[in-house]
Structures are given as C-alpha cells and as structure tokens.
Structure 1
Amino acid sequence: MRTIVHLSDLHFGRVDSAVIRPLIERINGIAPDLVAVSGDLTQRARSAQFRQAREFLDALPSPRIVVPGNHDVPLHNVLKRLLQPLQKYRHYITDDLEPFFVDDEIAVLGINTARSLTIKGGRISEAQLERARAQFSRLPAGATKIVVTHHPLDLPEGHSDRDLVGRARMAMETFADCAIDILLAGHLHVGQTGNTAARYEIVGHAALVIQAGTATSTRGRGEANSFNVIRINRPNIVVERWVWNPAATTFAATAPEHFRLVAGQWSAHGGGNDQ
C-alpha cells in the first residue's frame, strides 16, 4: 500500500498563518510515502513568497512532487513574465519542471501547465505528452500511474470549461493510452473526487480525478482549508479529505471515499475491503 498527501494552492503571500504549523504536524504524523503539491505556491511570484514556500516544503516529508501554477509566474513584471516566467520558481523550488517518482507500486509524473501568455489558464503541449508517454511506457505492469498538474483535466459540476487545461482532450487520449489511473490537480480551490467517464467517453478507461482545495490560503472560495490523503492498495483507492477546524486548531478527516478499478475504469464503491 502507498499513501500520498496531495496539497495545492498554498499562495504564500496570502496565507492564514494559523494553519501552517498544524498542517505541517498533521502531514508529518500521516507519514506519507509521497507528498504531491499541485501548484500556486505563491500569490504573486515574489522572492519573499518563494522563500516562505521553500521553508514550508522543507518541513514536509520527502520525497515530493511539486509543479508550478499560474500564480508562480510574475503578473506585473511583463519582461520577466515573457522571458523568464519561472526563473524564481526554478531558483527557490526546483529546476525540474517534469518531476518523476517511481517505486514498485506507484509512478507519479508532474507536468507544468503554467504559461506566460495567459493570466489564469494553462496548457499542455504535444511535446510534454510525448515525454509522458515515454516515461509511462517503460513501467512494468501493475503500477498505479498518476499525473500531477495545476490546471485540471476534468471539472466539478458548476465550473466553466474555461477552467480546463488547454488541449485537455488530447491529453486525456494520451493518458488513456498510457492507462493513467489518477489525475491530481488544484487551481479551483475546491476539493472534489470523481472520474473522467462523463466528460471523456473513452472505451475501457476512466481515470480517478482528485481536486485539492487550498491548503493554506485565505482565498477559500467558500470552503475551509483542506488537503487530500490518497491510500492506494490496488485495485482499491481510499481518498480522505482533511479539513481545517479553527475551533480545534487542527485538520480533521471527513468520511473517506472508496474507489475500485474494474476493467480499466475507476468508480465509487461501498468500501469495506480496501486495506
């Protein structure tokens, strides 16, 4: 079994400082096999904000898969935005924009969807998809395959298609060919779990879509700060959402959601025999 902690939309520069220490303590107590951070580490891509994000990451367990978000690209410095959009991210966080983690049970690939020519949106390129195909094609059968992006490839109800990453359908066709199991994303500040079957009718494939809310930002959009814990015991997955309780000054788990892989499709089931 593998346990992954999934965080997103930290937005250092606009965080609730009260949640930082309890969040670090809770994640270290969970002792995950991997921490995945799906972008927007900063509010305005400033050096001080990246330094705060770096300090936070260093307090979390390793290994970690981290990808940038649109807020990690400078907004007001036009030259930096166009010519060196992720210079500070590379300096303070990581120079690896396509991080890859693999062991004998899981394979996790981060893909950068942040772009300098858009303010909010993101895209995936054909070259990125071909590199992803090459990475996943080398894996032995039986590994649970996971992709981490900032911008989502599928959406909760009530969200506009404008929030989808550019070339989402092309990406999903590639990921179906690669038998990707899980898509982790952020951007929306909404926690939600489902599968891709409704939006992408691909015979024999439905990936599990796990959206993370904002772990630390004051921009909750009606939701409390939260993060996800994903427990993988193939062919079963349990997703827990840990939500900030300000009265108790801690993060507490909501009721777990259970999913099972049947004929290439992840779908909800009643649980009971997952572990």
Structure 2
Amino acid sequence: MRTVVHLSDLHFGRVDDTLLEPLSRLVNELAPNVVVVSGDLTQRAKDEQFMQARAWLDTLPGPQIIVPGNHDISLYNVYRRFFEPLTRYKRYITDDLTPMYADEEIAVCGINTARSLTFKDGRINKEQVAQVRQHFAGLGPDVVRVVVTHHPFDLPQGHEEESDLVDRAAMAMEAFAEIGVDVLLAGHLHARHASNTMDRYQLGDYAALVVQAGTATSTRGRGEVNSFNLLRLERRRVEVDTWGWDVLSGQFSVLHTETFMRSANVWALHSEGLMAAGL
C-alpha cells in the first residue's frame, strides 16, 4: 500500500496563516509516500507569493509532485502572461512541468493544464497525453497509475459550469483508457469530490477514479472548510480520507472516508464495486 497526501489551491497571497503550521505538522506526521499539490500555489503569480509558497513547501516531506494552476500565470502583466507565463513558477517551484514519481506500487505523473490564452480555463493537448503514455510505458500491471492536473476531468454533483472541465478532456480520457490510468487528481473548484468517470465518459468497461481536493489554505473556501485528501492506494482498493479544518479545536480532523474498489477496469464506490464484481 502507498499513501498520497493531495493538497490543492494554496493561494499564497490569500492564505489563512493560522492553518500553515498545523497543516505542515500533520502532513509530516502522516508520512506519505508522495505529496501532490494540484495547482494554484499563488493568488497572483507574484515573486513574493511564490517565495512564500516555496518556503512552505520546503517544510513538507518529499517526493513532491506539483503542477501549476491558472492563478500561477500573471493576470494583469500582459507581457509576462503571454511571453513568460510560468517563468516565476519555474524559478521558485520547479521547472519540470511533467513531474513523475514511480516505484513498484504507484506511478504519479503531473500535467500542466494552465494556459495563457484564458483567464480561468485549462487545457490538455495530444503532446501531453503522449508524455503520460511515455511515462507509464513499461510499468507492471499491478502499478496504480495516477495523473495530476489542476483542472478537473469531472465535476461534483450539482456543479453546472461545464467550462470548468479541462478542455479536450474527452480526447485525453480515451487515451487514459488505453494507458490504464487509475486515478485522476485535481483541484480548481475549491470543492472536494470523489467519484468515477463512467457517467460523463462512455468508454466501454473503463472508469477511472476522480478525486478532487478543496482548498487547503486559502481564505476563499466557497462554502467549504479548508481541506485536503489522504489516499491509501492498492491495486484493487483506494481509500480517500478528507481532512477538514476545525476552527474550534484549531486542527485538521478526518471528515469522512470513502472506499473505492476496482473490478476489471472500473473503479467504483465499495458497495457499487461489490455489485459490479458480483460479490
């Protein structure tokens, strides 16, 4: 079994400072095999915000798989937005826009979906899908394959904004079905969500597990408490703990746990998985 801490939407420049030390301490206590940060490390892509993000990330354990979000591209500086969109991100965070971690049990690949030509939306292209294919090539059949993006491939129930989906998602999902991607981690919406992709993408007997994180540290909670996810991954079983901030106790605690099971190439909630497997 491997464990992954999934953080998202830190938004340095608009963080709740009281959360930073307790969250860092907790992540270290959890001792994950991998820490994932799925974008929007800053609020406005300023040097000081990236420096603050870098300093805080350095308090967390490694390895770390980090991808940028739309807020990590300058909004008001037109030259920097279109000609140097991720210069500061690369300087302070990482110059690897397709980060990869792999061992004998899991493989985690990050993809940059942030783009200069749109203020909010994201996109994945064929070249990036080819990189995922290359990264996962040669892995054993028992390795759990995880893709990390900022923009999501699916939406929480009741969320009507289809534009929040990553652009060209259908193209990517067809390839992910061939590659055998198991888990898709994302953020962007400041809303926690976990389900599979079967309702949105009709891809035969394939359905990946989608896990979306809320905002870990931003003051812009959009009606949800600050939260992050802890995933425990095995070949046929993934447990997702959602940890949320309790203002009264001044600490993060587990809000709920969901268990997903894999039957053939379909991930589903535990009870659904049992039905699918005929157990």
TM value normalised by structure 1: 0.97
Report the CA distance between 1:123 and its aligned residue: 0.4
Q: Which residue of 2 aligns with 1:238?
A: 239
- Structure 1 runs not aligned, ≥5 long: none
Match of 2:225 in 1: 224
Matched, 1:90 2:100: no
Partner residue, 1:135: 135
2:175 corresponds in structure 1 to 174
| Alpha carbons 2:193, 2:213 under 8 Å: kept | yes
| Native 8 Å contact 2:124 2:167 kept in 1 | yes
Task: Give the Cα separation in 2 of the matches to 1:202 and 1:270.
Answer: 22
* 61-70 vs 151-160, which moves further: 151-160
Coordinate RMSD, CA, aligned: 1.0
Mapped to 1, the partners of 2:167 and 2:271 lie a distance apart of: 34
In structure 1, distance between residues paired with 2:67 and 2:266: 26
Describe the SS at the equivalent of 1:254. Answer: strand
What are the residue-to-residue correspondences of 1:122-271 with 2, within 5 Å? 122-159=122-159, 160-270=161-271
Match of 2:275 in 1: none
- Superposed CA deviations along residues 2-50 of structure 1, whole A, max 9, x for unmatched, are 0000000000000001111110011111000000000000000000000
Letter in 2 for 1:82: F
Q: Distance in 1 between matches of 2:255 and 2:239?
A: 12
CA positional deviation for 1:233: 2.2
Q: Determine the C-alpha separation between the residues in 1 that align with 2:121 and 2:75.
A: 13
1:231-274 deviation per Cα after TM superposition (whole angstroms, max 9, x unaligned)? 01221110000000011010000221011000110001159xxx
| CA deviation string 1:49-68 (max 9, x = no partner) | 00000011100010000000
Take 2:212 and 2:187, find their aligned partners in 1: how far apart are those partners?
Answer: 5
Q: Distance in 1 between matches of 2:100 and 2:118?
A: 26
Unaligned runs of 5+ in 2: 273-279
What is the CA–CA distance in structure 2 between the aligned matches of 1:263 and 1:163, rounded to whole Å?
30
Cα deviation code 1:107-140 (max 9, x no counterpart): 0000000001100001011111111112212212
Moved over 4 A (4+): none
Q: What do the CA deviations read for 1:135-185 (whole angstroms, capped 9, x no partner)?
A: 212212110000000000111122211100010000100111111000000
Structure-1 residue corresponding to 2:276: none
Whichever residue aligns with residue 54 of structure 1, its letter is R
Give the percent of matched residue pairs that are identical in Structure 1 and Structure 2.
55
State how many pairs are aligned: 271
Amino acid at match of 2:126: E
Q: Partner amino acid for 1:71?
A: H
Residues 1:71 and 2:96 aligned together: no
Partner amino acid, structure 2, of 1:165 = V
Partners of 1:233 and 1:73 in 2: CA distance? 35
SS in 1 for 2:267: strand
User: Does the aligned pair in 1 maintain the 2:144–2:234 contact within 8 Å?
Assistant: no
What is the one-letter code of the residue matched to 1:230? Answer: L
